[in-house]
Amino acid sequence: MQLGLIGLGKMGGNMRERIRRAGHTVIGYDRNPDLTDVQDLAELVERLDAPRTVWVMVPAGAATQSVIDELGGLLEAGDTVVDGGNSRWTDDEKHAAELGAKGIGFVDAGVSGGVWGLENGYALMVGGDSEHVDRLRPIFDALKPDGPYGYVHAGKVGAGHFSKMVHNGIEYAMMQAYAEGWELLEKVDSVTDVREVFRSWQEGTVIRSWLLDLAVNALDEDEHLDKLRGWAQDSGEGRWTVEAAIDNAVPLPAITASLFARFSSRQDDSPQMKMIAALRNQFGGHAVESAKE
């Protein structure tokens, strides 16, 4: 199958490689001339055979809207656009309507896998009409992990990004729990090897997880996280999850508390946020701030 891919950063570049390894043709565009296969979106569309599929992997908000607007003027009826970034689900409904008026299909795909996806595969939560989703299944199969799991057609337009948003909200709460436990272990005098305590949890315990494995990786690199500043960004999905909970009267005390804990990191050098920052860097390559000397 042939695919156009816009945005070849940390995830997009690895996705291009994984899809190519599965035997598909990927024509990529990025503003970085060292990464791109074509000079602009017009050339990208010109090199694709109809019906075209273009996958967008750019930051949510204005950047995605700009690309959707440009593609709307370049693509034709029967083509399909996939938004694989972290867009808000309400934007999906708008984009589907804008493109649908021109006969262009729209699919939203929540993608999880971070910098590890090239080798491990990406979990995919997809929203859209079956006629558009089903045609893209070879690409989804190329991206997903090996085995029966890792892909779901979650529902109509917006369902993919809504599901990914909730996934990220849960991720906030899980990371916060590990961070709080780590800080408490570091605080007491009786525990002399916190890193090895975390390592001991990797097998045979009910709290073992990939996040725990990444926490151990981070502690192997910097045993007491002394090199990190206790500051962690929130990328938007946590806020949207809490807002959706309010709109639907669903109590989310753990996820909400974990979001506010990140806000506290903007005020002081929080030990817990060192672990949050380390975990975000481990799974997603997100930027960290170094501790001041």
- In whole angstroms, give the CA distance from residue 164 to residue 40: 29
Strands 25-29 and 151-155: unpaired
Active-site entry in 164, 183, 237, 274? 164
Helix-strand-coil split of the chain, %, nearest 5 = 50, 15, 35
Give the end-to-end CA distance of the chain in Å, rounded to a whole number: 52
Q: Tell me, what DSSP letter sits at residue 125?
A: E
Residue 275 tokens read as 């672990």
- In whole angstroms, give the CA distance from residue 129 to residue 137: 13
Tell whether the torsion through CA atoms of 24, 27, 31 and 33 is positive or negative.
positive
Active-site entry in 171, 183, 237, 274? 171
Which amino acid would we find at residue 221? E
Burial of residue 20 (number of CB atoms within 10 Å: 0-12, 13-18, 19+): middle
CB of 126 within 8 A of CB of 109? yes
Residue 171 annotated to the active site: yes
What separation in angstroms does the CA of 109 have from each of 83, 120, 175, 231? 6, 18, 24, 29
Residue 164 annotated to the active site: yes
CA 60-64-67 angle, 5° bins: 165
Give me the active site residues, please. 164, 171
